[in-house]
Chains A and B, each alone.
Chain A
Amino acid sequence: MENFFTRYRNETVLFGVVFIQVILLAVQVRVPQPALGSVTAAVQPSQPGPRLIRVWATGLISPFQKLTVHSGEGIRGIWRNYVDLIHVRQQNIEMKQEIDHLRLEKIRLQQDAEQGQRLQALLGFKEQFLDQTVAAQVIGTSGTDLSRVIYVDRGTRDGVQPGMAVITPDGIVGKVSRADKTTSQVLLITDPMSGAGVLLERLRLNGVLKGTQSGYPEVLDVMADEKVQVGDTIVTTGGDRVFPKGLSVGTVTSVFPDRERDPFLAIRVKPTVNLGRLEEVLIVTKVLEQQVVTDANGAERAADILAQRLPSAKKKTADEVAKQTAAAEAAPGGETPAMNAEPKAVPQVATPTTRPPAVPDKYSPPDAKKSAGNMAETPAKKSEAPAVSENKKNNASAGDASTKKQVTPPKETPH
Chain B
Amino acid sequence: MAAQRTISREGIEVFRFGPVATVLIPLLALFLQASLPLRFSTLNIFDLPLLVVIFFSVARRSPMAGTLTGCIIGLAKDSLTYAHQPIGLFGISDSIVGYIASSIGVKIDVENPGSRLLMTFCFYLLSRGIYQVLRNMAKQPIDFNWGHELGAALVNAVLAVGLFMVLDRYKQRG
Q: Are B88 and A21 in contact (CB under 8 A)?
A: yes
Q: Which of A61-69, A110-118, A288-296 contacts B (4 or more CB under 8 A)?
A: A61-69
Q: Which of B13-21, B27-35, B114-122, B157-165 contacts A (4 or more CB under 8 A)?
A: B27-35
Give chain B's interface secondary structure class. Answer: helix
Complex CA–CA separation, A162 to B84 (angstroms)? 12
Contacting A at CB under 8 A, from B83-123, are 83-89, 91-92, 95-96, 99, 102-103
Partner of A22, one of B41, B92, B131: B92
Q: Are A18 and B2 in contact (CB under 8 A)?
A: no
Contacting B at CB under 8 A, from A1-46, are 7, 9-11, 13-14, 17-18, 21-22, 24-25, 28-29, 31, 41-45
Q: Are A53 and B82 in contact (CB under 8 A)?
A: no
- Within 8 Å of chain B (Cβ to Cβ): is A191? yes
Given A144-B47, A276-B41, A149 and B82 contact (CB-CB distance below 8 Å): yes
Q: How far is the CB of A55 from chain B (nearest CB, A)?
A: 8
Complex CA–CA separation, A147 to B2 (angstroms)? 42
Q: Are B88 and A28 in contact (CB under 8 A)?
A: yes
Q: Are A143 and B77 in contact (CB under 8 A)?
A: yes
Q: Which B residue sits closest to A7, measured CB to CB?
A: B2
- Within 8 Å of chain B (Cβ to Cβ): is A169? no
Q: How far is the CB of B23 from chain A (nearest CB, A)?
A: 11
Q: Are B134 and A17 in contact (CB under 8 A)?
A: no
Complex CA–CA separation, A142 to B84 (angstroms)? 13
Name the B residues within 8 Å of A17 (CB-CB): 67-68, 71, 95
Q: Are B84 and A48 in contact (CB under 8 A)?
A: yes
Q: Are A145 and B91 in contact (CB under 8 A)?
A: no
Q: B128-172 toward A: CB 8 Å interface, digit per residue (1/0)?
A: 000100100111101111000000000000000000000000000
- Within 8 Å of chain B (Cβ to Cβ): is A102? no
Given A56-B79, A191-B82, A193-B84, A21 and B34 contact (CB-CB distance below 8 Å): no
Q: Are A144 and B41 in contact (CB under 8 A)?
A: no
Q: How far is the CB of A156 from chain B (nearest CB, A)?
A: 14
Name the B residues within 8 Å of A212 (CB-CB): 143
- Within 8 Å of chain B (Cβ to Cβ): is A60? yes
- Within 8 Å of chain A (Cβ to Cβ): is B126? no
Q: How far is the CB of B103 from chain A (nearest CB, A)?
A: 8
Q: Which B residue sits closest to A43, measured CB to CB?
A: B139
- Within 8 Å of chain A (Cβ to Cβ): is B45? yes
Complex CA–CA separation, A115 to B134 (angstroms)? 56
Given A31-B139, A143-B77, A214-B145, A10 and B84 contact (CB-CB distance below 8 Å): no
Name the A residues within 8 Å of B144 (CB-CB): 213
Name the B residues within 8 Å of A14 (CB-CB): 63, 67, 95-96, 99
Q: Which A residue sits closest to B37, measured CB to CB?
A: A141
- Within 8 Å of chain B (Cβ to Cβ): is A146? yes
Partner of B80, one of A13, A142, A192: A142
- Within 8 Å of chain A (Cβ to Cβ): is B51? no
Complex CA–CA separation, A11 to B100 (angstroms)? 10
- Count of chain A residues with a beta carbon within 8 Å of a chain B beta carbon: 63
Contacting B at CB under 8 A, from A260-295, are 275-278
Name the B residues within 8 Å of A214 (CB-CB): 143, 145
Contacting B at CB under 8 A, from A136-169, are 138-151, 162
- Count of chain B residues with a beta carbon within 8 Å of a chain A beta carbon: 56
- Within 8 Å of chain B (Cβ to Cβ): is A50? yes
Partner of B139, one of A13, A29, A145: A29
Q: Are B44 and A58 in contact (CB under 8 A)?
A: no
Name the A residues within 8 Å of B42 (CB-CB): 276
Name the B residues within 8 Å of A65 (CB-CB): 31, 34-35
Complex CA–CA separation, A150 to B36 (angstroms)? 12
Q: Are A61 and B30 in contact (CB under 8 A)?
A: yes
Q: Which B residue sits closest to A52, measured CB to CB?
A: B79
Given A18-B96, A29-B138, A45 and B37 contact (CB-CB distance below 8 Å): no
Question: Which of A31, A42, A51, A145 has the most chain B CB within a 10 Å cutoff?
Answer: A145
- Within 8 Å of chain B (Cβ to Cβ): is A54? yes
Q: Are B81 and A28 in contact (CB under 8 A)?
A: no
- Within 8 Å of chain A (Cβ to Cβ): is B7? no
- Within 8 Å of chain A (Cβ to Cβ): is B64? yes
Complex CA–CA separation, A21 to B38 (angstroms)? 30
Name the A residues within 8 Å of B1 (CB-CB): 7
Q: Are A13 and B44 in contact (CB under 8 A)?
A: no
Q: Are B38 and A25 in contact (CB under 8 A)?
A: no
- Within 8 Å of chain B (Cβ to Cβ): is A219? no
Other CB < 8 Å A-B pairs besides A61-B27, A139-B35, A276-B42, 4 of them?
A7-B1, A10-B103, A65-B31, A148-B82
Which 5 pairs across A and B sit closest by C-beta, in order of nearness?
A: A276-B41, A143-B33, A57-B79, A10-B63, A178-B83
**What are 23 A-B interface contacts by the 8 Å CB criterion?**
A10-B64, A10-B103, A14-B96, A17-B68, A18-B92, A21-B71, A21-B91, A25-B88, A28-B87, A43-B139, A54-B79, A54-B83, A140-B34, A141-B37, A142-B34, A143-B48, A143-B80, A146-B142, A147-B82, A147-B85, A150-B38, A214-B145, A275-B41
